Amino acid sequence: MGTAEATRSLADLNPTVVFVLGGPGSGKGTQCANIVQHFGFTHLSAGDLLRAERNSGSENGTMISNMIKEGQIVPAEVTIKLLERAMLESGNDKFLIDGFPRNEENRAAFEAVTKIVPSFVLFFDCSEEEMEMRLLSRNQGREDDNVETIRKRFKVDAGRPIEEVFESVKGIFSPKNEKAD
């Protein structure tokens, strides 16, 4: 199904969407499973959809694999297509979108393409120390559950020089917020 057709059908569905965010290992997937049981939502983990796409032998497989190994963000259009397809295939109209959007560009692209405005954002706050401990004992065979990749996945490493930290901080703010010279 093409994006335009998928978008028309999604608009007809007028779904309820909640973005579930938080650092790696903060417990998004764990709590989403509870919400599914109690409230009848469909849980869509962007990371799980990307891993399934990589494993399917898709033309984007190598790119997705490399991005996941490096803790980098896959281009929004790839992830959004996977989310659209999963929403339409689910037969439900209530979704927990876990681990997406990763940044302001992801959020804007999702809203522009799907015309869906999320009902709210559920954010799980957890210390990096606790998240790292949980990920290292998760035992689900994920190749990014290792110290090197985990530290790349933590968003802003403030232990680096001022200019480098600010490069990361800038990425959190949308370009439209940037002060003109």
Ligand X SMILES: Nc1ncnc2c1ncn2[C@@H]1O[C@H](COP(=O)(O)OP(=O)(O)OP(=O)(O)O)[C@@H](O)[C@H]1O
Ligand Y SMILES: O=c1ccn([C@@H]2O[C@H](COP(=O)(O)O)[C@@H](O)[C@H]2O)c(=O)[nH]1
- Catalog residues that contact Mg ion under the rule CB under 5 A: 29
Q: Which residues are CB-neighbours of 2 under 8 A, at least 6 positions away?
A: none
User: Which residues are CB-neighbours of 112 under 8 A, at least 6 positions away?
Assistant: none
* Contacts of residue 75, Cβ cutoff 8 Å, sequence gap at least 6: none
22 contacts which partner out of ligand Y, Mg ion, ligand X, none, CB within 5 to 8 A by kind? Answer: ligand X
**Cβ 27 to ligand X shortest distance, Å:** 3
Closer to ligand Y at the Cβ: 8 or 151? 151
Residue 160 DSSP label? S
How do 42-45 and 94-98 pair as beta strands? parallel
Rounded Cα distance between 25 and 33, Å, is 14
Binding of ligand Y at residue 108 (CB under 6 A)? no
- Least distance CB 89 / Mg ion (angstroms): 20
| Nearest residue to the partner ligand Y, using Cβ | 47
CB nearer to ligand Y: pick between 92 and 149: 149
Binding-site partner at residue 105 among Mg ion, ligand X, ligand Y, none, CB < 5 to 8 Å by type: none
43: helix, coil or strand? strand
Give the one residue of 30, 34, 55, 72 binding ligand Y; rule: CB under 6 A: 72
Query: Which residues are near ligand X by CB under 6 A?
Result: 22, 24-30, 47, 99, 134, 138
- Residue 73 interface partner, choices ligand X, Mg ion, ligand Y, none, CB cut-off 5-8 Å depending on type: ligand Y
Between residue 32 and residue 51, which ones bind ligand Y under the rule CB under 6 A?
45-47, 50
Q: Give, as one character, the DSSP assignment of residue 161.
A: -
Footprint (CB under 6 A) of ligand Y, residues 76-95: 79
Q: What is the DSSP string of 116-156?
A: ---SEEEEE---HHHHHHHHHT--S--TT-SHHHHHHHSS-
Residues near ligand Y (CB under 6 A) = 24, 45-47, 50, 67-68, 71-74, 79, 99-100, 102, 144, 153
